[in-house]
Copies of this chain bind each other. A is one copy, B any other.
Amino acid sequence: MRPFLDEAKDLLARLVALPTVSAEGRALEEGAEAVAEVLEGLGLRAEVVLGYGAPVVLAEGGEGERRLLFYNHYDVQPPDPLELWESDPFALTERGGAWYGRGTYDDKGELLARVMALRLFREAHGFLPRVAFVVEGEEEVGSPHLGGFVADFAERLRSEATLWESGGVDAQDRPTAYAGLKGILAVELRARTAAYDLHSSYGAVVENPLYRLARALASLRDEEGRVLIPGFYDRVRPLTLAEREAIDEIPDESEELRQAFGVPGFLGGVRGAEFYEKLLAEPCVNINGVHGGYGGPGSKTVLPAFAFAKLDFRLVPDQDPEEVLGLLWRHLEAQGFHDLEVVPLEAGERPARSDLTHPFFGLVRRALEEAHGKKPVLYPNMAGSGPMHPFLHHLKAPAVGIGVGYPGSRVHSPNEHIRVADFQRGTLAILRLLELFFLGR
């Protein structure tokens, strides 16, 4: 395996060296060009598509009737806080059997595992199977233009299944796969109650923006986390039998998570399968931040004039972020919060969940079990969000995330890394999936 690993490391080092931070618009063209070169090196025809925000790399090629699509992204999260990195985030560094650097996992390492699996396939079987790649550069900023790209290129992307980014093994080294993602709607509530800050003695007669926000936030959910916005659950599709079975089969690590998070319990007291159902299958509202008035040491007798709250709603099929925004607005109106401004912060992402009964998932389970030597865990969807919906919607084919990470990969954090052994096993799993899919063995 030595030449394989050397080559993978060299290619990954080349991609990690490019600081493709989409939030800062850094090195995105270079990132797209480098990815296109890597994919052309594999024998695919790659093109850099402009006009959809950051350049999108679209690559196609290989032989056969059936086709697999790979979704990845070349952009990364900002590296800060820089001082917490033990090595340069933009220089791939190997230590302790792991590769460190921003993007080693999310998502350059994932992309390289697919590239290497295709090389291994060609070496073993003498041809490149028919595949396509979509590698975007705006995933870390909510993929605002990807939906349009997929709609416009749907015919060229048509495939029998999509291999989604991200995945790997869980804390017990069991391989994981997931078939969907929650949707998201991020909004800001703004309360302005006066023209300027007043002395807090006027609090007897002048409204307080933090009280308005407090009442509004308290009105959004109950103590168990159930959202109180009328109509919020109307479009929630009940779990199918296969989805419920998949959730019931998830090994229960809720107690380990509870201890790691340092919480006395979870909302509604859930544990075991109930925990996973609430986490994965229930939509929720979350407060990302509230700020207004004095926040320094001690006290300040001020009546602030302005305050804001940032929220995200996590959505499940078939909720729609645009519709939820409307429901939120109507709820606040009905509760008398005419004074609050509701500002959507991003276009939002629709929830996505593939059909778990699709035969492709049988291949995925088998490939993972053979490569890792352990029974895989299939999540109907992750608790997080991503731009999977346009793929499911336009391509009418399932998507599944499998990959090369582990729970300690520090995704989005300093010292992001993958373990080399995970990279090897993850690459092998993709190779096995390619063989099962294209060769039937």
Residues from 254 to 290 in A contacting B, C-beta threshold 8 Å: 260-264, 266-267, 270, 275, 278-279, 282-290
Q: Which residues of B contact A357 (CB under 8 A)?
A: none
- Contact in complex: A289, B289 (CB < 8 Å): no
* A215 on interface, CB distance cutoff 8 Å: yes
A289 touches B295 (CB 8 A): yes
Any B CB within 8 A of the CB of A24: yes
The distance from the CB of A292 to the nearest CB of chain B, in whole angstroms, is 6
Smallest CB-CB separation from A225: which chain B residue? B204
A126, chain B: closest CB distance, angstroms: 41
What are the interface flags for A302-325 relative to B under an 8 Å C-beta threshold, 1 for contact and 0 otherwise? Answer: 111001111010100000000000
Within 8 A of B (CB), among A351-393: 382-385
Contact B293 A204 (CB under 8 A): no
Of the candidate stretches A152-160, A195-203, A396-404, the one touching chain B is A195-203
Quick one: CB contact mask for A3-23 with B, threshold 8 Å, 1 for yes?
A: 000000000000000000001
Contacts of A221 in B (CB 8 A): 211
Cβ of A87 under 8 Å from chain B: no
Tell yes or no: A68 within 8 A of B by CB: no
> Known contacts A302-B412, A310-B294; is A261 also within 8 Å of B198 by CB?
yes
Q: How far is the CA of A215 from the CA of B204 in the complex (A)?
A: 20
A182 in the interface (beta carbon within 8 A): yes
Answer whether A201 and B314 are a contact pair too, CB < 8 Å, given A287-B208, A293-B289, A296-B78. yes
A300 near B: Cβ within 8 Å? Answer: yes
Which of B207, B213, B214, B413 interacts with A263 by CB under 8 Å? B207
A304 & B289 in contact (Cβ 8 Å cutoff): yes
| Complex CA–CA separation, A229 to B29 (angstroms) | 55
Proximity string of chain A (177-213) to chain B, C-beta cutoff 8 Å, 1 when within and 0 when not: 0000010101010000111111111111111101101
Per a CB cutoff under 8 Å, which of B24, B205, B284, B384 touches A278? B205
Classify chain A: how many residues form its interface, as a range: 35 or more
* A411 at interface by CB-CB < 8 Å: yes
In the complex the two chains form, is A211's CB within 8 Å of B206's CB?
no
Least CB distance from A329 to B in Å reads 18
Closest chain-B Cβ to A22's Cβ sits at a distance in Å of 8
- A203-B290 contact in complex given A141-B299, A196-B413, A309-B210, C-beta closer than 8 Å: no
Distance to closest chain B CB from A171 (angstroms): 14
- Asked if A412 and B78 sit within 8 Å, CB to CB, the answer is no
Do the beta carbons of A182 and B201 come within 8 Å of each other?
yes
Pair B289/A210 contact, Cβ less than 8 Å? yes
CA distance A425 to B194 in the complex (A): 31
The chain B residue sitting closest to A282, CB to CB, is B204
Query: Counting CB contacts under 8 A, is A142 at the interface?
Result: yes
Contact of A286 among B195, B203, B385, B411 (CB under 8 A): B203
Q: Whole-angstrom distance between the alpha carbons of A62 and B200 in the complex?
A: 38
A301 touches B (CB below 8 Å) = yes
Nearest Cβ on chain B to A291's Cβ, whole angstroms: 4
CA distance A78 to B184 in the complex (A): 40
* Separation of A142 and B298 alpha carbons in the complex (Å): 10
A48 within 8 A of B: no
Contact yes or no, B141 A263, CB < 8 A:
no
A23 to B218, CA, bound (A): 31
Q: Are A345 and B203 in contact (CB under 8 A)?
A: no
- Give residues 27-80 of A contacting B (CB, 8 Å): 77-78, 80
Assuming A206-B266, A267-B206, A312-B301, is B286 touching A200 (CB within 8 A)? yes
A310 proximity list for chain B (CB < 8 A): 293-295, 299-300
Q: Would you list 16 pairs from A and B whose C-beta atoms are within 8 A, ordered by A residue?
A: A23-B297, A142-B299, A194-B261, A195-B261, A195-B263, A199-B413, A200-B312, A202-B261, A203-B287, A206-B261, A214-B214, A214-B287, A286-B303, A288-B299, A290-B307, A302-B413
Q: A200-B314, A201-B382, A290-B292 are in contact. List 10 more A-B contacts (CB 8 A).
A: A78-B300, A194-B262, A195-B263, A196-B262, A214-B287, A215-B218, A218-B218, A289-B304, A299-B310, A301-B412
